[in-house]
Structure 1
Amino acid sequence: MTGKELRLVFMGTPDFAVASLKELVEGGYNVVGVITAPDKPAGRGKKLHDSAVKKYAVENNLNVLQPDKLKNPDFLAELNALKADLQVVVAFRMLPEVVWKMPRLGTFNLHGSLLPQYRGAAPLNWAVINGETKTGVTTFLLDHKIDTGKILFKKEIAIWENDTVGTIHDSLMDIGAKLVLQTVDALADGNYEAIPQSELIDETEIKHAPKIFKEDCKIDWSEDVETVRNLIRGLSPYPAAWSSLVHTETAKEIPTKIFFAMQVEDNKDTVPGTIESDGKNFVKVACANGWLQITDLQIAGKKRMKVQDFLRGFQQIGEYRFV
């Protein structure tokens, strides 16, 4: 049997997953059902919004299911009625055993890291934050623990000096979609080797990728330049690293997101968070062992902008420091 003859159920929610679903659909694969998150209220009017995967699925007349609970008997009955040979998961939630064991060929997941490294909810972010020079995507068979199943295929890419999590996301979205097709075809004809993760690395050497919270995004300027810069790159454009511009006399605080910064040569040794600017073209901030020059930022209540545009409307920058 070929991959295109299999009855596939696809599970995913964000844009990252759409690329894989699109590759399957446009490649002529038989997607008999799409499982995605329920519509969620968003924006000022709190109107219900479809997930990116639902939008694509509806536009292409695919059968869509949006369960609130994956163990709901009605949903399980609907899923079982699809008679899937294989389930494909890309950027979805953790599945109960009754779901991932349902198809005869099981369920595989596309994960945004080179497993077993960076298991968890935010693998792309943490790889950049930790200063890694490579990352990738992995397909693996689901089992009882999250991101621990037997590995099927991997594809590696370099993380370059000026990459952000945004550029890495976009590269891996397309690479991952092609890896999904490769995996479906291999599972269909039995041409694969499933490798236990325990054979690849000692558990004590594994780096994890937990969900990122607001406190994880706060910049500590007393860290070294490379650490601060990697944090900024690893959170750009979302959820974005942040700091507060604090007026040196009034202590007024302005929350500020920082999207990109470059290391610059400056031998002055000063208090971390100190700002230097010509008021027109640059804003430099002192770290523990050097200086970063900010290129893109966003202050509370404003849109993201280049630092030159920011300075035109914020000429009092010399009265502030970052905390």
Structure 2
Amino acid sequence: MYGLFRRWQRAGVWQRVLTALPRHNSLSALLPYFKEPILKLPRFGIFNVHSGLLPQYAGPAAPVHTMLADEPELGVTLHVIDREIDTGPILSSATLPVDKSRSLFGHLPRLYEPGVELFLHELPDLEAGRVPTGRAQDPKARRYHNLPTMNQIAAVEVHGYRLFNTQDYGELVQRFGANRPLNEIADLSQNVPPRERKTPQRDG
């Protein structure tokens, strides 16, 4: 996804799309990587809901790295996007207790709920024309984590978590309007051929 995003950016796709839209006071983004022409378009800036606590869990797949560090909570941070990745001023943050009965997949949609609430909290000020005030990140506390390796992904289970289970998937599907019973979803999962797996190892 990041590769596609960057290719569109180099081709000027985002700049053409945003220039064609009415002038925005602000923009909320899912992918926190924009360059100068786009950064200047919204009057109040571009905001990102990052699925990790900043500055210590910058970079993609922050929940994976948070779980590998055996943190008791996952975090989400609302911040202003600047020229670099996950370095802009922090507006607010929230945490979600880690539940070992849930899979990694099961935590992700629950994590973005407080993230959306953080953004909605800023909307009244934006609508009133007030620019949100953020706090600068401490560069000494910053830790940038790359996309996890296959060994790191496998090590999630070594730390006592499952990557995925049908219960979490079924609850998510039912929540967003599908009427398929959980037992049917579980039956479908049994038909997926097993993948060859390496023995999980801790990186580093």
Superposed pair shares fold, TM > 0.5: yes
Q: How many Å separate the matches in 1 of 2:142 and 2:13?
A: 39
1:116 aligns with 2:71: no
Q: How many Å separate the matches in 1 of 2:85 and 2:12?
A: 23
**Greater C-alpha radius of gyration:** 1
2:28 aligned partner: 88
The structure, 1 or 2, with the larger RCO (C-alpha pairs under 8 Å, 6+ apart) is 2
Is the 8 Å Cα contact of residues 165 and 236 (structure 1) preserved in structure 2? Answer: yes
1:32 aligned partner: none
1:195 aligns with 2:135: yes
Question: What is the DSSP-based 3-state SS (H/G/I as helix, E as strand, rest coil) of the residue aligned with 2:9?
Answer: coil
Shift of 1:156: 1.6
2:150 aligned partner: 214
Shift of 1:71: 4.2
2:158 aligned partner: 229
1:144 pairs with one of 56, 76, 83: 83
Is the 8 Å Cα contact of residues 141 and 151 (structure 1) preserved in structure 2? Answer: yes
- Can you give the 5+ residue segments of structure 1 that lack an aligned partner in the other structure? 1-12, 14-36, 39-65, 220-226, 239-297, 305-321
1:312 aligned partner: none
Alignment of 1:235-246 (within 5 A): 236-237=163-164
2:99 aligned partner: 160
Is the 8 Å Cα contact of residues 123 and 209 (structure 1) preserved in structure 2? Answer: yes
1:244 aligned partner: none
Q: Could you say if the C-alpha distance between residues 151 and 236 of structure 1 is closer, same or farther in structure 2, counting changes exceeding 3 Å?
A: same
Is the 8 Å Cα contact of residues 67 and 75 (structure 1) preserved in structure 2? Answer: no
Q: How many Å separate the matches in 2 of 1:69 and 1:117?
A: 29
Question: Percent identity of the aligned residues?
Answer: 21
2:193 aligned partner: 302
TM-score, L = length of structure 1: 0.45
Shift of 1:68: 5.0
Q: How many Å separate the matches in 2 of 1:215 and 1:125?
A: 12
Q: Could you say if the C-alpha distance between residues 75 and 125 of structure 1 is closer, same or farther in structure 2, counting changes exceeding 3 Å?
A: closer
RMSD: 3.4
Q: Could you say if the C-alpha distance between residues 212 and 102 of structure 1 is closer, same or farther in structure 2, counting changes exceeding 3 Å?
A: same
Query: Which letter does structure 1 place at the counterpart of 2:66?
Result: A
Q: Could you say if the C-alpha distance between residues 100 and 80 of structure 1 is closer, same or farther in structure 2, counting changes exceeding 3 Å?
A: same
Render the CA deviation track for 1:94-140: whole Å, top value 9, x for unaligned: 21221122111111101011211210001011111110011221111
Q: Could you say if the C-alpha distance between residues 93 and 155 of structure 1 is closer, same or farther in structure 2, counting changes exceeding 3 Å?
A: closer
Q: Could you say if the C-alpha distance between residues 209 and 183 of structure 1 is closer, same or farther in structure 2, counting changes exceeding 3 Å?
A: farther
Render the CA deviation track for 1:239-291: whole Å, top value 9, x for unaligned: xxxxxxxxxxxxxxxxxxxxxxxxxxxxxxxxxxxxxxxxxxxxxxxxxxxxx
The range that moved more, 145-154 or 172-181, is 172-181
Q: Could you say if the C-alpha distance between residues 161 and 193 of structure 1 is closer, same or farther in structure 2, counting changes exceeding 3 Å?
A: same
Shift of 1:228: 5.7
Q: Could you say if the C-alpha distance between residues 69 and 161 of structure 1 is closer, same or farther in structure 2, counting changes exceeding 3 Å?
A: closer
1:315 aligned partner: none
Q: Could you say if the C-alpha distance between residues 161 and 67 of structure 1 is closer, same or farther in structure 2, counting changes exceeding 3 Å?
A: closer
Is the 8 Å Cα contact of residues 14 and 38 (structure 2) preserved in structure 1? Answer: no
Question: What is the DSSP-based 3-state SS (H/G/I as helix, E as strand, rest coil) of the residue aligned with 1:197?
Answer: coil
Shift of 1:214: 2.1
Shift of 1:153: 1.4
Question: What is the DSSP-based 3-state SS (H/G/I as helix, E as strand, rest coil) of the residue aligned with 1:69?
Answer: helix
Shift of 1:73: 4.6
TM-score, L = length of structure 2: 0.68
Q: Could you say if the C-alpha distance between residues 104 and 216 of structure 1 is closer, same or farther in structure 2, counting changes exceeding 3 Å?
A: same
